[in-house]
Chain A
Amino acid sequence: MNSGRKLRMVLLGAMLGTVAGASVGRAAEPPLKVGLLEDVSGDLAFMGMPKLHGSQLAVEEINKSGGILGRQIELIHLDPQGDNARYQEFGRRLLNRDKVDVLIGGITSASREALRPIVDRTSTPYFYTNQYEGGVCDASMISMGAVPEQQFSTLIPWMVEKFGKKVYVIAADYNFGQISAEWNRKIMKDLGGEVVGEEFIPLGVSQFAQTIQNIQKAKPDWLLTINVGAAQDSFFEQAAAANLNLPMGSSIKVMLGFEHKRFKPPALNNMHATANWFEEIDTPEATEFKKRWHAKFPDELYINDMGYNAYNALYMYKALVEKAKSIKLDDMRKVIATGDACIDAPEGKVCIDPKSQHTSHRMRLISVGPKHEVKVEKDYGTIQPYWLSEIGCDLTKKNDKDQYTPSHLPKKS
C-alpha cells in the first residue's frame, strides 16, 4: 500500500512538479531553490491550482529578467493533496533534503500551523500566501494575504449598517472557521449587534437542509459564510434552491473560491466580501497582469487572491533578497525592520509591517449581483495590518512563535 502511494507521489511529482531552470547552466552561481507546497489534487485543488500557476508565472518572469541577484530560480513544487501529515513530510523533505532557500505555500490554516513548527527549527524564511484569521507572530513567517483587521473590520460594520444587527454564522470547523467566528463575535459586540446563531460544519459535509432551516428559525438579517471547501460550498446551491434569500458576507468567497464562477446564477446573489484582489479589478496594472496570466494559462477559470498573493510572494522575496544582498533570513529581516520592504503589486504598492511581518493591502468591498456580476461597493484605500502590533507583538524585539486571537493575547511582561 505504502509503496503504491509513493509511486503515485513520484508520478504526480513528475507530472505536476515544475523545474523552471532551462537556462541554469549559463549562470555562474547555482540557482536559488524555492520550495512550494500547494494542493493541486484533493478537495482544495481548484483553489490550489491558481497558486501553483501564480508561482510559475512569477518564476518565469523573474528568470527571464535576470533572476535574483543574478541567480536563476528553481521552483520545486510538491503536492500535499490537502493532507496535513503530508504537508509536514514534504516540508521536512524540502527544508532538510532539498535545502531550499525559501519555503512558500499552504492553503488551510491547519496546514500552515502543521508546517510552522518545522520551519521554526530552521533558519529558512517561510511565506504564507493566503488571507487568513490573523494573529501569527513568528519571525520565520512572512504573511502575504489579508487579515481580519483588513477584512472583517471593514466588512462587518458595513453589513450591519446596510442590512441590520442580527447575524448568523456558518463556519468550517477548524482553526480558520473557529477563530474567524471569534473575530465576528468581538466586532459584533463592539457594534452592539447580535450573533443569533453559529454553526460549525465538519469539513466534507455537503448536505445543508437542516442548517437552512435553523437559519430561518433564527431570523438573522444577514449571514456570515466562512464555510470551506468544495463540499461545504454546496450550501450556496441548496440555500438558493430553498429560496433562503438572505444577504451574505464572507472573507473567503468570490475572490478566493470564485463561487460566482462555479455556481449557476443566482446562487451567489447578494454576497459581499472585502478583498485586496479579485479578477474583476480593472486598473491598468491589474489588466496588464491578468493579460500575462491568461496568456500563460488560457484555461484558468479565475485568478483568485491566493494565486495573486502567491505571485506577489516571489517578487517580495526578490525585493527582500536584493535589498539585503543576502539570502539569509536574518539579513532579510533587517530590511523588513526598516519598514522599506515594499513592492509595486498589481493592486498597488504593498509593504511588510516590521512588527508583525504581515502585508499592507488596498482593500475593496465587493458585492455579487443576481447575474453574478461583481461590483465594487467601497474602496478603503490601503489598510495596515495593525492588530498584532497593537496587542504587543513586535518581531523586531522578540520572536513569540505564537498565534494570537481576541481571546488569546500575549502575556503582559
Chain B
Amino acid sequence: MSAEVFSVFYQFADVFAFLILSAAGLAIVFGMMGVINMAHGEFIMCGAYVTVGLVNLGVPLAIAQILAALTAGLIGVLVEFLVVRRFYKRPLDSLLATWGLSLIVTQSMLLIVGSAVRGIGTPEGSFAIGGYTFSTYRLVLFACAVAVLAGLYIIFMKTRFGVISRATMQNAAMAKALGARTGRIYAISFGIGTGLAGLCGALYAPTMTLIPTMGATFVVESFVTVVIGGANVLLGTAPAAVLLAIIRMALNASYGQIIGQIGMLVAVILIIRVLPEGLSSVLVRRGR
C-alpha cells in the first residue's frame, strides 16, 4: 500500500518538477515582463548543450549545470541588450524577433554541432519500494524545482532588487522618476529568466536525447503553465503547476500519455475561459 502512495507522490513530483523548471524562466520573462519569448526553448537547449559539453571536458556534472545556467543567463542579458530592449512597447514584434532568433539558433546548432550529440547518462542511483523501482535523480529534479521557487520568492520579495524590479514592471516611468535604473533592471530580470531556462536544460540534459530542436518539447508545457498562472510568478506559476501536475498525473496513470496530454490541454482551455487573467488573479485578490 505504501508503495502505491509513494508512487503517486513520485509521479506528481515528476510532472510538477518538469512544469516548474520549464516554466520558471518564462514566468519572469513573459509573466512579469510581458515579453513573448519564442526563443525560450532555445535557452533551455543552450543549458543542455553547455552541460553536456562541459561534462565531456571532465567538469563534474553539478558544476557543469551551474555554469550552464550562468551561460544561458549571460547570453540572455546580451540578447536583451541587442534585441529584446527594442521591443518592449511592441509585444507582437517581440514575438517575431524572438521567433526569428529561435530559428537562427536551432539551424546554426544543427550546422555547427550536428544533428545528434552523445548523451552523458543519468547519475547512478535507483531505489525500490514494493514492486516498483525509482530513479533517485528524479527526486533531485523535484528538490531543484522547490529550490527554484524558494529562490525566486527570496529574490523578488525579500531583496531591494526585487522591490525595484517589481516596481519597474508595474510602472517603468514612475520607477525611473524615483531613480531606478530601469534599463539595467530589465536586462537583469531577463537574464534571470533565461538563466532559469538554461538551468532547466542543464537539469534535464542527462535524462534526454540532445538535438537542436529539443527546446520544443518544453515550450508548450511552459507556456500553458505561465498563461494559466497569470502575472504573479509565485502565486500564479506554482499553483498552476500543482493543478496541471495533478490532472496530468491522474490521467497518465489511468489512461496513458495521450489522454494525459489531451486532458491537461482541455483543463488549460477551461481555466483560461473562466479566469482570463490566470489563477493569480484570484489568489492575489484573496490575499489582500
Q: Shortest beta-carbon distance, A327 to chain B, in Å?
A: 33
Q: How far is the CA of A48 from the CA of B110 in the complex (A)?
A: 13
Name the segment of B24-32, B82-90, B254-262 touching the other chain: B254-262
Contact pick for B207, options A204, A238, A265, A299, CB 8 Å: A238
Q: How far is the CA of A345 from the CA of B186 in the complex (A)?
A: 61
Name the segment of B70-78, B116-124, B164-172 touching the other chain: B116-124
Assess whether B115 is in contact with A45, with CB atoms less than 8 Å apart: yes
Is B100's beta carbon under 8 Å from chain A?
Answer: yes
**Which residues of chain B (228-266) have a CB below 8 Å from chain A?**
249, 252-253, 256-258, 260-261
Contact pick for B133, options A206, A230, A244, CB 8 Å: A244
Assess whether A213 is in contact with B217, with CB atoms less than 8 Å apart: no
Contact pick for A15, options B111, B125, B249, CB 8 Å: B111
Contact pick for B258, options A201, A245, A265, CB 8 Å: A201
Assess whether B118 is in contact with A264, with CB atoms less than 8 Å apart: yes
Is A241's beta carbon under 8 Å from chain B?
Answer: yes
Name the segment of A36-44, A133-141, A155-163 touching the other chain: A36-44
Assess whether B261 is in contact with A301, with CB atoms less than 8 Å apart: no
Is B211's beta carbon under 8 Å from chain A?
Answer: yes
Interface mask (B110-142 → A, CB under 8 Å = 1, otherwise 0): 110011111111100110100111110110000
**Which residues of chain A (1-30) have a CB below 8 Å from chain B?**
1, 4, 8, 12, 15
Is A261's beta carbon under 8 Å from chain B?
Answer: yes
Residues of the B chain whose Cβ atoms lie less than 8 Å from the Cβ of A265: 121
Assess whether A241 is in contact with B11, with CB atoms less than 8 Å apart: no
Residues of the B chain whose Cβ atoms lie less than 8 Å from the Cβ of A242: 126, 133-135, 138
Contact pick for B257, options A12, A45, A210, A267, CB 8 Å: A210
Q: Shortest beta-carbon distance, A117 to chain B, in Å?
A: 27
Is B182's beta carbon under 8 Å from chain A?
Answer: no
Residues of the B chain whose Cβ atoms lie less than 8 Å from the Cβ of A213: 7, 10-11, 132, 253
Q: Shortest beta-carbon distance, A335 to chain B, in Å?
A: 36
Closest residue of chain B to A11 (Cβ to Cβ) is: B107
- With contacts A205-B217, A263-B119 taken as known, whether A46 is within 8 angstroms of B208 at the C-beta atoms is no
- With contacts A12-B107, A42-B213 taken as known, whether A263 is within 8 angstroms of B207 at the C-beta atoms is no
**Which residues of chain A (240-258) have a CB below 8 Å from chain B?**
240-245
Is B272's beta carbon under 8 Å from chain A?
Answer: no
Q: How far is the CA of A262 from the CA of B253 in the complex (A)?
A: 29
Q: How far is the CA of A12 from the CA of B110 in the complex (A)?
A: 11
Is B96's beta carbon under 8 Å from chain A?
Answer: yes
Assess whether B96 is in contact with A238, with CB atoms less than 8 Å apart: no
Residues of the B chain whose Cβ atoms lie less than 8 Å from the Cβ of A12: 107
Is B277's beta carbon under 8 Å from chain A?
Answer: no
Residues of the B chain whose Cβ atoms lie less than 8 Å from the Cβ of A206: 208-209, 214, 217
Assess whether B209 is in contact with A231, with CB atoms less than 8 Å apart: yes
Residues of the A chain whose Cβ atoms lie less than 8 Å from the Cβ of B260: 210
Q: Shortest beta-carbon distance, B67 to chain A, in Å?
A: 20
Assess whether B126 is in contact with A49, with CB atoms less than 8 Å apart: no
Q: Shortest beta-carbon distance, B43 to chain A, in Å?
A: 17
Interface mask (A184-219 → B, CB under 8 Å = 1, otherwise 0): 000000000000000111101111011101101101
Assess whether A209 is in contact with B121, with CB atoms less than 8 Å apart: no
Residues of the B chain whose Cβ atoms lie less than 8 Å from the Cβ of A231: 208-209, 214, 217
Q: How far is the CA of A263 from the CA of B209 in the complex (A)?
A: 8
Q: How far is the CA of A404 from the CA of B252 in the complex (A)?
A: 31
* A to B CB contacts below 8 Å, 30 in the list: A8-B107, A41-B212, A41-B213, A42-B213, A45-B213, A46-B211, A205-B217, A205-B261, A209-B138, A213-B7, A213-B11, A213-B253, A216-B131, A216-B132, A216-B133, A217-B132, A219-B131, A231-B208, A237-B209, A241-B122, A241-B137, A242-B133, A242-B138, A243-B126, A243-B133, A245-B133, A262-B117, A263-B121, A267-B121, A301-B116
Measuring CB to CB, which residues of chain B are less than 8 angstroms from any residue of chain A? 7, 10-11, 14-15, 18, 96, 100, 103, 106-107, 110-111, 114-122, 125-126, 128, 131-135, 137-138, 206-209, 211-214, 216-217, 249, 252-253, 256-258, 260-261
Q: Knowing that A201-B258, A237-B206, A242-B135 touch, tell me 13 more A-B residue pairs with CB under 8 angstroms.
A: A41-B213, A45-B116, A173-B258, A205-B217, A205-B261, A210-B260, A234-B207, A237-B122, A240-B121, A242-B138, A243-B133, A263-B119, A264-B121
A-B interface, 8 closest residue pairs, ranked by CB to CB distance from nearest = A264-B121, A46-B116, A241-B122, A241-B135, A243-B126, A46-B115, A45-B115, A230-B209
